[in-house]
Amino acid sequence: MVRKIIVYVAVIIIIFVGILLWSYSGAIVTAPVTEKVVALTYDDGPNPPHTQNLLDMLERHSVKATFFPKGQNIEMFPESVRAIVREGHEIGNHSYSHHPMVSLSKTDMLEELVLSNRLIENLVGYEPVLFRPPYGIQGPGLKMALEELDMTSILMSSSGLDWEITDPKLIASAVVESVEPGSIVLLHDGHGDVSDPNAQDSRAASVEATDIIIKELKAQGYRFVTVGELIELPK
């Protein structure tokens, strides 16, 4: 009896892990390159004035980044989205509502993705092909929805932990200490969850951290590319 239960539990665990691995297959975490390149990404915006301050900061350093704005914020701040693209940065999709995608049906997920794609296309003239799942959570439904739309999931291999850390120096050191050639770095210019008590906190710390990150990584010989450029680099 005990042996049967152990076998059942083992089978359930194997199936669960298998589904999880399959769900994340094809998602990009980092690029397998040896060259010192890194892609900065910013989620949950646009969020004036921090997004504009960030754009000014990136411009001063001649660095291009990738933004994954939230659909609801795109509707609120369309000019910021236009500015991001006008200044040569890349835009991806981060869903419309920022709900964890696993909590939605596949139909609802598709609606979220298509709605944000349309919002972006109407503003900048092209549909994004990159998607960052809210909270980095990806289930089988999302994998199938992304395949249907021919979109690629972009995760991250380095993070400023700027949803927890508020000191720009510490955000920067979290990134600098974890970066390797090909890293995709997660930072935020906005907030995904507006019911979060910290949602109205400033993103000034992330902007300031960006200044430190760029200076330190450039001093180490890194160059900065968009995620689209990173994944096209020869391996």
Q: Which residues bind Zn ion (CB under 5 A)?
A: 43-44, 134, 192
Would you state the torsion angle of the CA atoms of residues 166, 225, 119, 25, taken in this order, to the nearest 10 degrees? -90
Annotated active-site residue in 50, 94, 98, 188 = 188
* Shortest Å distance, C-beta 191 to Zn ion: 8
**Helix residue ranges, H only, 61-197:** 71-76, 78-86, 106-124, 140-149, 168-178
Contacts of 102 (CB under 8 A, 6+ apart): 137, 138, 139, 141, 142
In this complex, which beta carbon is closest to Zn ion, that of residue 36 or of residue 99? 99
In this complex, which beta carbon is closest to Zn ion, that of residue 24 or of residue 222? 24
DSSP H helix total and E strand total for the chain? 9, 8
In this complex, which beta carbon is closest to Zn ion, that of residue 96 or of residue 224? 96
* Shortest Å distance, C-beta 68 to Zn ion: 7
Nearest-angstrom CA–CA distance, 174 and 193: 22
Structure tokens at 16: 């669960």
Based on the residue annotation, tell me whether 188 is a catalytic residue of this protein.
yes
* Shortest Å distance, C-beta 1 to Zn ion: 46
Active site residues: 43, 188
